[in-house]
């Protein structure tokens, strides 16, 4: 058995550490968590992650949660993968962490409102939550679109874990009817991501997990708005 397990579900933000581990060339096992069966809230899983969320990374027998923490840890542990650019000083490193927090703490909650508005409101109000989520996301997509002017990645020519995070955000809201046509550079960024062998390997893992859920009749489809 591999020394590293990534607890994940297909389509979730666990794609981000999956891409990072692939980029770092690490041997790891993906452990499928069946949301439809409430496995993420089971006592066994909550021993690893009391918050009942994916991703949860178990490395050398130790569990680590939260994407920002997982990415910064993997960056320290596998520096040759350059998951984060080199930082000249503490301020530069803190700014990179701020960028990752922008994904986890600002963008991700809006993603959830767009993808699963019914989590936050009655069925009757779901459309309004979705619209407000889209309008909040538009401001931040404009920021990202501007940042990608004349540069392929968030940090210029250097790919980083930040790009994996942005990729997941884009993919998730595009699939939830958010109009991405005003953001062609961000769309191109996604296409560049999908050309990366590590991203393709992460996708193979997700497809296998999705096929498993389908075979078990456990795929999740959010209710229509
Ligand atoms: N702050 C966490 C968020 C993790 C999170 O919300 N994961 C979602 C999937 S994208 C999840 O596990 N949802 C299950 C639930 O909340 O019931 C992180 O950045 O890792």
Output the domain CATH number for residue 15.
3.40.30.10
- Sign, CA dihedral 202-207-208-212, equals positive
Q: Which residues of the chain have pLDDT under 50?
A: none
Nearest CA to ligand 1 atom 17: 53
- Please indicate, yes or no, whether residues 124 and 31 belong to a single structural domain of this protein: no
pLDDT, position 43: 97
The pLDDT score that the predictor gives to residue 223 is 82
CA dihedral angle for residue 65, residue 98, residue 189, residue 82, rounded to 10 degrees: -70
Q: Are residues 24 and 95 in the same domain?
A: no
| Residue 95 placed within a domain | yes
- Clarify whether residues 53 and 118 are in a common domain: no
Considering the domain boundaries, does residue 171 fall inside one? yes
Question: For strand 56-59 and strand 62-65, is the pairing parallel, antiparallel, or unpaired?
Answer: antiparallel
Same domain, 97 and 156: yes
**Two tokens, residue 165:** 């995070």
Residue nearest to ligand 1 atom 18, measured at CA? 66
Rg for the chain, CA atoms, rounded = 17
95 and 191 in a common domain: yes
Ligand 1 surroundings by CB, under 6 angstroms: 12-13, 40, 53-55, 66-67, 104
Query: Are residue 107 and residue 186 in the same domain, yes or no?
Result: yes
Has residue 221 been placed in a domain? Answer: no
Let me know if residue 224 belongs to a domain.
Answer: no
| Substitution site in 8, 13, 161 for ligand 1 pocket (most atoms within 8 Å of beta carbon) | 13
Chain centre distance of CA 89: 27
Same domain? 167 vs 205: no
209 lies in the same domain as 180? no
Same domain, 123 and 67: no
State the total domains in the chain.
2
Helix/strand/coil (H/E/C) assignment for every residue in 88-155:
CCHHHHHHHHHHHHHHHHHHHHHHHHHHCHHHCCCHHHHHHHHHHHHHHHHHHHHHHHHHCCCCCECE
* Amino acid 53: pLDDT: 98
Give the list of residues 6+ apart from residue 203 with CB closer than 8 angstroms, or none.
Answer: 194
CA of 56 to the centre of ligand 1 (A): 10
Nearest CA to ligand 1 atom 15: 53
Q: Supply the residue whose CA is at minimum distance from atom 6 of ligand 1.
A: 53
Residue 49 lies in a domain: yes
Clarify whether residues 208 and 185 are in a common domain. no
Structure tokens at 175: 């699939």
Q: What is the residue range of 165's domain?
A: 90-196
User: In whole angstroms, what is the distance from residue 162 CA to residue 107 CA?
Assistant: 12
- Measure 34 CA to ligand 1 centroid, in angstroms: 13
- Report the pLDDT value the prediction gives residue 1, as an integer from 0 to 100: 63
**Are both 208 and 192 inside the same structural domain?**
no
50 in a structural domain: yes
Q: Does 189 share its domain with 203?
A: no
Angle ∠(32,8,80) on CA atoms, nearest 5: 125
What's 164's domain CATH number? 1.20.1050.10
Side-by-side strand order, sheet with 29-32: 29-32, 4-8, 56-59, 62-65
- For the packed helices 67-77 and 161-174, what is the interaxial angle rounded to 10 degrees? 150
Kind of pairing, strands 56-59 and 4-8? antiparallel
Distance (Å) from CA 195 to ligand 1 centroid: 26
Would you say residue 225 lies in a domain?
Answer: no
In a domain, 183, yes or no: yes
For atom 20 of ligand 1, the residue with the nearest CA is 66
């Amino acid at each position: 058995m591999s020394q590293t397990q990534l607890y994940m579900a297909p389509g979730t933000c666990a794609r981000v550490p999956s891409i990072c581990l692939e980029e770092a060339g690490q041997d790891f096992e993906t452990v499928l968590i069946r949301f439809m069966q409430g496995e993420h809230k089971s006592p066994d899983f909550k021993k690893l992650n009391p918050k009942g969320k994916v991703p949860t990374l178990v490395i050398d027998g130790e569990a680590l949660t939260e994407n920002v923490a997982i990415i910064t840890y993997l960056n320290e542990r596998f520096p040759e993968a350059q998951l984060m650019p080199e930082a000249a000083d503490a301020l530069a490193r803190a700014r990179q962490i701020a960028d990752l927090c922008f994904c986890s703490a600002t963008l991700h909650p809006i993603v959830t409102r767009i993808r699963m508005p019914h989590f936050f409101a009655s069925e009757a109000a779901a459309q309004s939550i979705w619209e407000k989520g889209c309008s909040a996301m538009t401001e931040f997509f404009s920021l990202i679109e501007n940042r990608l002017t004349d540069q392929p990645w968030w940090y210029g020519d250097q790919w980083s874990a930040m790009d994996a995070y942005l990729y997941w955000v884009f993919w998730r809201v595009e699939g939830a009817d958010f109009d991405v046509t005003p953001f062609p550079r961000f769309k191109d960024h996604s296409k560049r991501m999908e050309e990366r062998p590590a991203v393709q390997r992460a996708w193979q893992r997700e497809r296998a997990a999705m096929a498993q859920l389908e075979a078990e009749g456990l795929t999740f489809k959010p209710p229509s708005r």
